[in-house]
Amino acid sequence: MRKIGIIALVLGVAVPAAAQPMDTYGMGSRSVALAGAVTADVEDGSANYYNPAGIVRDGRLHIQLGWFGAAHDMYLNEHSSAIDPTHGVLLGLNVPGRVDDFRFGFGLGVHLNDQRVSRTRTLPRARPRWEMYDNRPHRAYLSTHVAIQPIEWLRIGGGIAFLSYSANQLRIRGTLNALQPQRSTLEHELSGELITIRYPQVGIQIGPLEGFDFGVTYRGEFALDNKLEAQVGTTDGNPVNETTIVAGNIAINGYFYLLTQSVNAYVPHQVSFAASWQPIPELRIGVELTWLMWSLYISPIGTSRVILDIDVPPELQDTITVPDRIPDLNPEPANFQDRVVPRIGVEVTPYRSADLAFQARAGYFYENSPVPAQTTFTNLVDTDRHTWSLGFGVDLLGLRPLLPGFLSIDAHVAYSWLPERAMVKDSPIDPVGDYVAWGHMVAGGLSLEAGFD
């Protein structure tokens, strides 16, 4: 038998990697309208993403249900990249408890795309793709947390978030008739395994002075790994498992093995530092800096390997030439850089009575792209991102005895501008060539939250 090692998928492919949808669109209309600058004082259901310490902040039971949607208008040169829109539902639940003066709480956060639970799309290695937006929105998010308030001005929370990845195997055996395909007898066996991964989220909130709050949140790194193994035939010598190609009176036994393994979603370590100031009851200003450790990014250009063993019949030795082994395809470093994302959010309450309150909100954040210039064969497309957000909220406070608490209705809209970025290749004969990336995104949503005293 002669053996060949051929580069993965023979083709060289990559899976677009990305993070979770909250990193792109946020969670909860109030928090998104404030550009995510809420780590210091968040207390609604979105605390399950922004800062789990906020679960215990006001000592109330919170039940939040919301809907979100986003549309993408992105281009390479003048050609649309056709990034899919995304929309879905979110759920936030904060359940308080108390033992004497010691307060504690439990939280649950869910972010579910209503089109699909998850998506993985494999693309040719050299094809340009929007690294942060292609697969990023198409994931489900689940988190559970616990929080405590040991003293009046200190809250501490933590928990875990869940995602999953897949490992699949395909085996084919039998006879392939090259001249009469209808006489082929092939059997296949496909098995798959869904493997859950967990990563930590912890946070604190401190309110040492009247009108001032501070917060810190850490979200752990995770990488979703996709693995596919495919075998045609066997190497165990058992004729039952052999795969044979038949052409007339000639029978060729062979074995084919394919392995592809790559990262299709990645979230870096994140640390957010935040402060909020309420100089008067009607005004709240929040600022925040989030450190994203993109330098640890795992490239989506993964490992691939092909092995082909062919038992070449003597009469075909001069006809079939088996090439020398070609090296396997190994991951290429992405060389991303760490980034700090600044955020600011302002909330004004122009009207409040015993039965009704109205809030207006605005926010802005800036993400400097961590992706380096794509001067060689890779094409991980990204640009900087400026995002402006607006929103409003209405609190219904006089619902007793129907509801012993409040009912909040919140809405938001956000616009993101991705300015032009030119990718200039080192080689004048690069198969893709130079291109300019740019685009826009529009997102919006509604949230309904009930709070019980």
pLDDT digits (tens, 9 = 90+) for 392-408: 999 999 888 888 999 99
Instruction: Answer yes or no: are the C-beta atoms of 50 and 270 closer than 8 Å.
Output: no
Q: Whose CA is closest to 147, among 96, 198, 99?
A: 96
Residue 239 has pLDDT above 60, yes or no: no
User: 431 preceded by cis ω (within 30°)?
Assistant: no
Position with higher pLDDT, 445 vs 184: 445
Q: What's the half-sphere exposure (Cβ side, CA atoms, 13 Å) at 307?
A: 14
For 148-203, write each residue's pLDDT tens digit: 999 999 999 999 988 765 566 767 766 666 566 677 776 777 776 666 778 899 99
Average pLDDT, the chain: 84
Q: Looking at the chain, how many residues does it have?
A: 453
Instruction: Compute the average pLDDT of residues 436-453.
Output: 95
Residue 443 has pLDDT above 90, yes or no: yes
Hey, what long-range contacts does 1-4 have (CB within 8 A, 24 or more apart)? 1/309, 1/310, 1/311, 2/309, 2/310, 2/312, 2/322, 3/307, 3/308, 3/309, 3/322, 3/325, 4/306, 4/307, 4/308, 4/309, 4/310, 4/322, 4/323, 4/324, 4/325, 4/326
Each residue of 109-144: b (16+ CB within 10 Å) or e?
bbbebeeeebbbebeebeebbbbbbbbbbbbbbbbb
For 128-156, write each residue's pLDDT tens digit: 888 888 765 566 788 999 999 999 999 99
Compute the radius of gyration of the chain from its Cα atoms: 27
Percent of the chain with pLDDT over 70: 81
Structure pTM? 0.82
Measured distance CA(387)–CA(295) in Å, rounded: 23
Q: Taking the chain, what is the end-to-end CA distance rounded to the nearest angstrom?
A: 76
Give ∠ CA 313-315-321 in degrees, rounded to 5: 70
Measured distance CA(47)–CA(19) in Å, rounded: 19
The pLDDT value given to residue 1: 40
The pLDDT value given to residue 2: 39
Residue 330 has pLDDT above 80, yes or no: no
Split at pLDDT 50, 70, 90, the class of 237 is low
Q: β-strands 129-130, 185-209: how paired?
A: unpaired
> Which residues are 250's β-sheet partners?
247
Each residue of 353-362: b (16+ CB within 10 Å) or e?
eeeebebebb
Q: 37-51, 115-129, 281-295 — which is least confidently predicted?
A: 115-129
| Side chain identity at residue 435, one-letter code | Y
Position with higher pLDDT, 45 vs 315: 45
Residue 8 has pLDDT above 50, yes or no: no
The pLDDT value given to residue 138: 62
